[in-house]
Amino acid sequence: MNIIVDGRYQIIKRLGKGGFAHTYLAKNLAALGEPQCVVKQLRPKVEHPRMLQLFKLEAAILDRFQHSQIPKTVECFEHQGDFFMVQDFVAGDDLSKEFTIGHRWSEAKVIGFLREMLKVLGYVHQKQAIHRDIKPANIIRRWDNGQLYLIDFGAVQDLEGDSLVPMTVVGTPGYHAPEQAAGLATFGSDIYALGMTAIQFLTGHYPLHLPKNAAHEVLWRDLTKVSDRLATILEQMTRVECIDRYDCTMAVLADLETLSRCDNDIPVSSSRSIDAEFSHQRLTSKIMTMAILVGLGLVGTVGVVSRIQSVGGMGGGSISDSPLDLMHE
């Protein structure tokens, strides 16, 4: 393939394509050893002034993060009228590749998944950011050590820069929380999406296909074998009303650790130390939740300007038929 972006990044193949951007595996020709990287090109299906703003915000947010399980941004630039972002490449497959309908993860595997991702998500929230598109396709498992990485911050909300007002609706149906579908999100919205992801792996069914009760909560417990303790945690993670959900990731972790203590399988730290360490996160979340409730009461139903879908996983994409089609089809 003979496409080189900005004279430095040689495109190898496409990794993902969505309503917001296209992603490509590339080689950095200007770096020692020509390491592989991910080139993300802004290619919105629906033109909107917020798109470029969100694209630049993603780069700024990732530049602010320093976490071993979140890919770093190398740079963000404009080339021939298009906007590009270059990120570290994570050699692995996104979790959508591990899912097949009817296949169920064990309870122990789901608990391990939640514990690992809640810590990563807790870091994001500590940095005053809401991911807003947690789902299997945006979580990569590394091939070499099995470690999970959180990717695709294209829908991120920066609480340090954004006010709590109705915004462009983002997220993926089946995973995003009800308040997020109305244009408003909290830390609890990410917790809801992570809970839905765990339920998907536990039941072997996509969240969008699960039945709901009169309160619009998903009905899933009869589709799998699960302990009452874990089911209770997942139900609290996915409550329809944000005020009824966990107020921060550490609160979920504390309950998971209590569950693990009962099973005598994993040494854990005390929930008291967790609460002390993350009291600021919990207080911030409570304030945000109350603001969301007030906002929903004031604004009513927010019209959907557009729904930004995931860029798609960074593993295993199809190669474009022709070099010209790859970047501008």
Cross-strand partners of 140: 94, 149
**Distance, first Cα to last Cα, the chain:** 16
Residue with tokens 């009824």: 244
Q: Print pLDDT tens along the chain (329 aa).
A: 679 999 999 999 999 887 778 999 999 999 999 999 999 999 876 677 778 888 888 888 999 999 999 999 889 999 988 999 999 999 999 999 999 999 999 999 999 999 999 999 999 999 999 999 999 999 999 999 999 999 999 889 999 875 444 456 788 999 999 999 888 899 999 999 999 999 999 999 999 999 999 999 999 999 999 999 999 999 999 999 999 999 899 999 999 998 866 665 444 444 444 444 455 555 556 666 665 555 555 444 333 333 434 333 333 333 333 343 446 55
At 190 the three-state DSSP class reads: helix
Q: What are the extents of the domains in the chain?
A: 6-90, 92-299
User: Tell me, what amino acid is at 35?
Assistant: P
pTM comes to: 0.81
SS3 content of the chain, % helix, strand, coil (to 5): 40, 20, 45
247 vs 299: CA distance, rounded Å: 23
> Is 133 labeled as catalytic in the residue annotation?
yes
Is the distance from CB of 101 to CB of 206 less than 8 angstroms? Answer: yes
Domain 92-299 of CATH type 2.40.50.140? no
Phi, psi of 130 (to 5 degrees): -120, 125
Give domain 6-90's CATH architecture.
2-Layer Sandwich (3.30)
110 vs 120: CA distance, rounded Å: 16
The residue from 94, 133, 152, 190 that is catalytic is: 133
Residue with tokens 């569950």: 259
